[in-house]
């Protein structure tokens, strides 16, 4: 029995060694061609075996994708699937558009001054005084009522602008064919919120610049005479002359600030004494009486107000 096995093995090896799948008349008649056909056969089988091995290895290492459909998953289930199968997970929305008002809420916090007594009508009326035109232009009492009235208007406009911006946000829709992750959705909402804040703030600043530039361009005359004064002078013949006096303020003691020609003119307000209209610091009583006559001689439409030589003439309380 062992002898037969050995004989069989030898015959098999001899058959493999002389195997020729490219056998033809040319290879049988020429020894060189016969040898070349045998080598080609061996090379062919080596390549075939290597290809089969590569195919088996690739097939064993490749992952098999199985599609599983989950109907109406909960939020927790979706978050788990997203974290586990983030590359292959696909979840289409039942609606491709959804209003921001369905999943967002806003909490607006205004400055406390906009809800304080300083913007109330009672406070503004309390600051009105019949003697405001007799005060120094930088005296806070001369324009306090209009200051808080402007503040109340600005607060009201800010609230109206913010409400309009929120209405626009609620009317907008989020467009997406697939369900967004919580992080991506939060990023989109935060970007929309930042854009809302920036655009609303810019609109309020533009409004302030518009009022300032309009006042400057149209040379509007202030009823509180903070930019110009109108003085009435009666001559001996009974004629009345109105004198337009430009108000010049010196906020830092050296730089002149004129609201008439500078739209951004500003200086700290205060409370001053001895600031009646027509009293010019540094001038004697005789010169003060003669100023209207001198102005009539000059025939000029505009003169500058006088500045006292001693700033301590006005005591700040």
- Residue 134 shares a structural domain with residue 232: no
Domain closes at, from 37, 60, 83: 60
Q: How far apart are CA 24 and CA 68, in angstroms?
A: 56
Q: How far apart are CA 201 and CA 204, in angstroms?
A: 5
Q: Residue 91: pLDDT band by 50, 70, 90 thresholds?
A: confident
Does residue 282 have a pLDDT over 50? no
Does residue 193 have a pLDDT over 50? yes
User: What domain range is 281 assigned to?
Assistant: 228-313
Return the exposure string of 110-145: e unless at least 16 CB atoms fall within 10 Å of the residue's CB, then b. Answer: eeeeeeeebbeeebbeebeeeebeebbbbbebbbbb
Residue 65 domain flag: no
pLDDT score, position 260: 61
Burial class of residue 192 (count of CB atoms within 10 Å of its CB; 0-12, 13-18, 19+): middle
Could you tell me the pTM of the whole model?
Answer: 0.54
Q: How far apart are CA 312 and CA 317, in angstroms?
A: 12
Domain closes at, from 160, 186, 217: 217
pLDDT score, position 285: 43
CB contact set of 82 (below 8 Å; sequence gap of 6+) = 89, 181
pLDDT in tens, 113-137: 998 999 999 888 888 877 776 777 7
Report the number of distinct structural domains present in the chain: 3
- Residue 244 shares a structural domain with residue 184: no
Average pLDDT, the chain: 74
- Residue 204 shares a structural domain with residue 106: yes
Q: How far apart are CA 135 and CA 278, in angstroms?
A: 11
Domain closes at, from 163, 188, 217: 217
Q: How far apart are CA 176 and CA 271, in angstroms?
A: 61
pLDDT in tens, 226-237: 666 666 677 767
- Residue 180 shares a structural domain with residue 239: no
pLDDT score, position 295: 53
């Amino acid at each position: 029995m062992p002898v037969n096995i050995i004989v069989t093995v030898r015959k098999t090896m001899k058959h493999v060694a002389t195997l020729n799948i490219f056998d033809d008349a040319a290879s049988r008649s020429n020894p060189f061609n016969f040898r070349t056909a045998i080598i080609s056969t061996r090379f062919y089988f080596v390549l075939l075996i290597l290809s089969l091995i590569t195919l088996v290895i690739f097939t064993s290492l490749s992952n098999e994708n199985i599609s599983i459909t989950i109907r109406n998953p909960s939020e927790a289930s979706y978050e788990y699937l997203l974290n586990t199968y983030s590359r292959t997970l696909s979840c289409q929305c039942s609606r491709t558009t959804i209003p921001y008002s369905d999943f967002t809420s806003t909490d607006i916090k205004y400055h406390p001054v906009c809800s304080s007594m300083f913007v109330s009508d009672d406070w503004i009326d309390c600051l009105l005084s019949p003697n405001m035109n007799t005060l120094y232009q930088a005296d806070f009492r001369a324009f306090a009522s209009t200051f808080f009235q402007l503040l109340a208007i600005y607060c009201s406009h800010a609230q109206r602008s913010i409400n309009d911006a929120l209405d626009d946000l609620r009317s907008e829709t989020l467009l997406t064919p697939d369900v967004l992750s919580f992080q991506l959705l939060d990023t989109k909402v935060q970007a929309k919120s930042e854009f809302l804040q920036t655009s609303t703030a810019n609109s309020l600043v533009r409004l302030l610049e518009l009022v300032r530039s309009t006042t400057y361009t149209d040379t509007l005359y202030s009823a509180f005479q903070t930019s110009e004064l109108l003085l009435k002078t009666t001559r001996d013949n009974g004629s009345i002359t109105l004198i337009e006096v430009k108000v010049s303020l010196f906020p830092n003691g050296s730089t002149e600030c004129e609201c008439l020609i500078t739209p951004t003119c500003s200086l700290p307000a205060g409370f001053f004494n001895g600031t009646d209209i027509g009293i010019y610091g540094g001038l004697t009583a005789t010169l003060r009486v003669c100023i209207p006559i001198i102005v009539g001689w000059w025939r000029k439409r505009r003169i500058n107000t006088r500045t006292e030589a001693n700033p301590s003439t006005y005591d700040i309380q």
